[in-house]
A and B are shown apart, each in its own frame.
Chain A
Amino acid sequence: MPIGIKSYGAYLPKYMLPRELIAKAWDFPTVPGTKAVAMEDEDSLTMSVEAGLDCLEGIDPKTVDGIFFASTTQVYTEKDSASLIATVLDMREDIITADFTDSTKAGTTALTRAVDTIKANKDIKSILVVAADTRKPEPSTMWEYGFADGAAALLVADEENIPISIDDYYSVSANVTGPWKRASKDEFIRTFEVKMDAKFYVESITKVMSEILKRNSLNPAVDIAIAAYYYNNPRMHSTISKIMKFGQGVAQNSLFFQVGDMGTPMPFMLLIASLRRPKQDDKIIMAGFGDGADAILLQVRDKDGVRDIGKGRMGFVGHQKSMTLLKNYNKFIEYKELLEKDRYTRKSSAVLIWRDTPSVYKWYGVKCKNCGAVQYPILSRACSVCRADDQFDRVKLEKKGEIFTYTLDHLVGGAYLNTPVPRCIVDLEGGGRVLVNMTEIENPEENVKIGMKVEMTFRKEHEGAEFKNYYWKCRPVRGRP
């Protein structure tokens, strides 16, 4: 059976920063366009959960046999992220997990390893590959124009009627002291000479794409319909397209101006954005770059299948439609936590979070067999409504609901950031009443309303007990199906 892409998902944060605000802040010459900016309660892990949820929309997470996570901004350097993402996505325990890190080509590398794994192991039929990055640019450097935040996921599977097949891949390695970040010393990415970086980038990416086309006897000018290759600079992008002799409109080039340079998820995002109007048998080349490059050759096997994937999820377009412009540069500095602020340290417990994994991470509640009431959190063994003892079945809660009531908390957490925080009692679709904070809300005094529809989103809460504490929050509807 052919191995290929069964589903895809994307995540773009709510906010976009117009580049002219960066120019204004530092008195720099401006660069056109906007870039996606994650909020301070988001990181690579939470964005991966969002992209994973989007990808697995309509697919039972228990049917997926593995998860690979790719990022240069993983949240831990000891302790993997893939297992935590798998837990939140409610995947099985007998799965394979791995983190691919340290290079912006980690996404395409993880994808190729997923293909290998599925080929080599008859028990592994599908792997979710999720890439996310939230690279922090040093203020008042040119990196600020580029670095953007986002996540993308591809579900690689071996099955009949795969909508997009993965036909070949090819990689090159190149050791370049290009952009780097020392493991223990650097807060920001450094570089020695950007022109040298650009030279190696162009060489690696054209080499890897030329080789894969050559060994498949494909002519770039006529055989390739979509070229989704990583780029961090629009000028280099068109240079590569010319060197490769791709046809007009083949190279996907609009994302830098719309959402910026997202790092590891960039090739996936370009691919997803290019699949809006799939044509039968279109050949696609995707490439990732970072100390070498990976090229992957794909083909649209079922254009209706591809279109159906697009219809059932937010993908690139659904997220992009619901984005909002930031009104000032300072918000960006705040979201990137580049301001030194005292932050109140809350209490936490790793034991408690492990014990409460089904409710805290997997979003399960209980349903009383006696009276039918759905309840959350899972605290007692006695029903809150009918008081019956030991009558609970565990049930998965919906991630949509509406505000039953709320209060605006002006003192929450002691951080005094983005206060007041709406603390909401949400009635979930299908039952259950939960207490969660609201995120992605501007001017809450006016905009939070009883009865307003909300979606649940997985976010970073705080770093109590010196580890990352995540939990669900609600947000105004962005359009998740």
Chain B
Amino acid sequence: MSTREGETLKEVIKMVRHGIKDKVAIIGCDMTKYGERWDKSQYDLLFEAFQSAIKDAGIKKDEVDASWIGIFYYFTGLSGAMVEDILKLDGKPATRVENYCASGMDAFRNACFAVASGAYDVVLACGVEKQY
């Protein structure tokens, strides 16, 4: 291993060890009521969870800079525009993450990286699913 390669490896190890620890905080969260909620659509559910989460955080919806949403089934939606459709976060970047049952977790992971990178101050990580 050359010196240069060794230095690079050390940096990678340092980053993995260190990660984004202490760089990102969850400032508010909530979830929908549990149940067989035939009378609610994906629109209703995400709206409900989002409203509670921003209330928990003590912020307004305009303060959210970008959003990541985990959706697996196409029945629920196929793009980040679901967030825009439901919450009307006009002009804010929105990304759908699809990663099987880890879709929600991965939306959260990507949202964390966005804040850690310094690109945004406040972002939304969410997940919604409604098969019919």
Contact = CB atoms under 8 A, between A and B. Distances in A.
A214 interface: no
A382 B87 contact: yes
A349 B38 CA distance: 11
Interface in B100-128: none
A380 B44 CA distance: 7
A379 B61 CA distance: 18
Given A349-B132, A380-B86, A354 B38 contact: yes
Contact of A355 (B39, B61, B86, B87): B39
Contact of B88 (A347, A351, A356, A384): A384
A355 B41 contact: yes
B85 interface: yes
B47 A380 contact: yes
Interface string A355-399: 110000000000000000000000111111001010000000000
Contacts of B39: 355
A387 B88 contact: yes
Contacts of B75: 347, 349
B79 to A, nearest CB: 15
Contacts of A355: 38-41
B88 A382 contact: yes
A387 B41 contact: no
B22 interface: no
Given A351-B132, A355-B39, A387 B44 contact: no
Given A355-B38, A355-B39, A389 B61 contact: yes
B47 A382 contact: yes
Contact of B90 (A349, A354, A356, A387): A387
Contact of A383 (B40, B43, B85, B88): B88
Contacts of A387: 61, 88, 90
A355 B44 CA distance: 11
Residue of A351, A379, A380, A383 with most partner-chain B CB within 10 A: A380
A379 B38 contact: no
Contacts of B86: 379-380, 382
A351 B51 CA distance: 25
A380 B43 contact: yes
A381 B75 CA distance: 20
A298 to B, nearest CB: 45
A352 interface: yes
Interface string A333-352: 00000000000000101011
A357 B115 CA distance: 41
A131 B85 CA distance: 42
Given A380-B87, A382-B87, A384-B88, A389 B51 contact: yes
B43 A351 contact: no
Contacts of B47: 380-382, 389
Residue of A352, A354, A382, A387 with most partner-chain B CB within 10 A: A382
B85 A379 contact: yes
B9 to A, nearest CB: 49
Given A355-B41, A387-B90, A380 B61 contact: no
Interface in B16-49: 38-41, 43-44, 47
Nearest to B132: A349
Contacts of A382: 47, 86-88
A382 to B, nearest CB: 4
Contacts of B88: 380, 382-384, 387
Contacts of A352: 41, 132
A364 to B, nearest CB: 15
A385 to B, nearest CB: 9
Contact of A379 (B40, B43, B51, B132): B43
Nearest to A356: B41
B129 to A, nearest CB: 14
A355 B45 CA distance: 13
Interface string B56-92: 0000010000000000000100000000011110100
B38 A351 contact: yes
B106 to A, nearest CB: 24
Nearest to B131: A349
Contacts of B61: 387, 389
B19 to A, nearest CB: 35
A460 to B, nearest CB: 20
A197 B43 CA distance: 58
B24 to A, nearest CB: 27
Nearest to B90: A387
A384 B39 CA distance: 22
Residue of A347, A355, A384 with most partner-chain B CB within 10 A: A355
Contacts of B87: 380, 382
Contacts of B51: 389
A387 B84 CA distance: 10
A347 B131 CA distance: 12
Given A352-B132, A355-B38, 14 more contacts: A347-B75, A349-B132, A351-B38, A351-B132, A352-B41, A355-B39, A379-B86, A380-B47, A380-B86, A380-B88, A381-B43, A381-B47, A384-B88, A389-B47
15 contacts: A347-B75, A349-B132, A351-B132, A352-B41, A352-B132, A354-B38, A380-B86, A380-B87, A381-B47, A382-B87, A382-B88, A383-B88, A387-B61, A389-B47, A389-B61
Interface of A: 347, 349, 351-352, 354-356, 379-384, 387, 389
> Nearest 4 CB-CB pairs, A to B?
A349-B132, A382-B88, A387-B88, A380-B86
